[in-house]
Amino acid sequence: MSPRRIRADEDVTGRRERPLRITVDGETVEGVAGQTLAGVLLAAGRPAWRRGPSGAARGVFCGIGVCFDCLVTVGGERDVRACRRRARDGDAVVTQSREIAPDGPRKTHNSPAEEEQ
């Protein structure tokens, strides 16, 4: 997945960019209507936005919604795949983590599929 976009004046389809703003952990990030949340984050220079159990940085891995590396919370809804969700103006995004807590068990959450079982 690449954060590059075709400039509107070079787009033969006649697309016109409509700017949008989201907040990520309280920080305002600008994007363009039609971008996924992952696309907005990548274009803003944020290749990673969560940590795995080992502490390794995670962001977009597969880019098609198969893995769970790009999970975020949007408007209070946990486990949203940033690569599949189109950004909407005003979205409040909070990053998630699976880091090991210093005092014991892993800080974790269940995937939507696991919660249904």
pLDDT digit string (tens) for 57-91? 899 999 998 998 999 999 999 999 999 999 999 99
The two tokens of residue 73 are 């919370």
User: pLDDT tens for residues 6-59?
Assistant: 776 777 877 677 899 999 999 999 999 999 999 999 999 999 998 888 888 899
Distance of CA 79 to CAs 3, 5, 53, 98, 112, Å? 22, 26, 16, 12, 7
DSSP one-letter code for 47: S
